[in-house]
Structure 1
Amino acid sequence: MTRKILTLFVLILGLHSYFSQDVVIKDDRVLLDGKQILKAEKINVAQYSFFSMADDEEILLYRYMDNETSKYFDDDYYVLNFLTEKIKIESSDFTKIFNIMNSRKGMEKLIKWLLKERVINQDGVLNPDRLAIFKEKYDENITERTLR
């Protein structure tokens, strides 16, 4: 019985290692398992841009929005603007990307999420079909619902 449990544990650990991907942003480069797939630019604490390797075109702009209430955090959200596809996603669910101590780590989590959802592939290329599904799943359309 113990041997079966140990074998199952090793198998699960091996599968986790096989499917987990190491995403690192270092020196304005997005590295997936050591291979550069995108270029990154930190504009400020609340904004990041990601660029294609093929043509250096900006494909994604991340923006943190405080909804003009800097001391009230419950209405904060973020915008993922996929510029080349003209698709904007607004969400208040920070669980997938937020890292309170380090915005770079948060952006690494964002890239992992986009890879997992197959919005971008292993070469950093956008998949328009998967992006449409991603929008349907996660877009909360906050701007349209907010009275100003």
Structure 2
Amino acid sequence: MKHLIYLTILFLATTTLSAQEIKLNESIVYVGDKPAFSFAKKSFNNELYVYKLNTKEVLVHMLVDTNGTEIKQDDGKKLVFEQQKVTIQSKNFRTRKWEFLIALLIEEKVIDLNGDINLDNLNRFKAKYDDNDVNKTMR
């Protein structure tokens, strides 16, 4: 049942995020046609660092989380907000592209287009999507 709720949320988010087009091009993240952030891909595209525009101030580090196994079914994505000391791991994001995750963070008002992170919204996002959230498993 829990996974059905996640899939429903992701489906609804996908339909609402289509208005917010995200493009990764030449180390710049574009929201629509406007440059919003800088980025760097590493580890054969298994890691993405998103920076404030034209700086090296890391907003979020996203990576493919293999759980130390070669089986793809248990993989997920990990989002690390180092300055805020928040890590989010979700298997629901396993097949999602980096652009989708950036759009979701903007849609959920975790990151604004100036590169500012709202800690309250980040904690709400973590409670909503993190597979390791103790509160979620207690329900």
TM-score, normalized by length of structure 2? 0.75
1:51 aligns with 2:42: no
Q: What letter matches 1:114 in structure 2?
A: L
How many residue pairs get matched? 117
Equivalent position SS for 1:110: helix
* Partner in structure 1 of residue 120 of structure 2: 129
Question: CA offsets per residue over residues 6-39 of structure 1, 9 Å max, x none?
Answer: xxxxxxxxxx99x812211100101112211111
SS of corresponding position for 1:85: coil
2:10 matched residue in structure 1: none
Deviation at 1:55, TM superposition (A): 5.0
Which residue is 1:140 aligned to? 131
Q: CA–CA distance in 2 between the matches of 1:128 and 1:55?
A: 21
- Answering whether residue 108 of structure 2 is matched by residue 86 of structure 1, we say no
**Partners of 1:83 and 1:28 in 2: CA distance:** 21
**Rg larger in 1 or in 2?**
1
Amino acid at match of 2:49: S
Match of 1:7 in 2: none
Q: Give unmatched runs, 5+ long, in structure 2.
A: 1-14, 134-139
Q: Distance in 1 between matches of 2:49 and 2:55?
A: 15
Distance 1:60 1:94 in 2: 15
TM-score (norm 1): 0.70
SS at match of 1:123: coil
Cα RMSD after superposing both structures: 2.3
| Distance in 2 separating the partners of 1:29 and 1:54 | 8
Kindly indicate whether structure 1 or structure 2 has the higher relative contact order, using CA contacts under 8 Å at least 6 residues apart: 2
Q: 1:60 is aligned with what amino acid?
A: V
**Structure 1 residue 48, shift from structure 2 partner:** 0.7
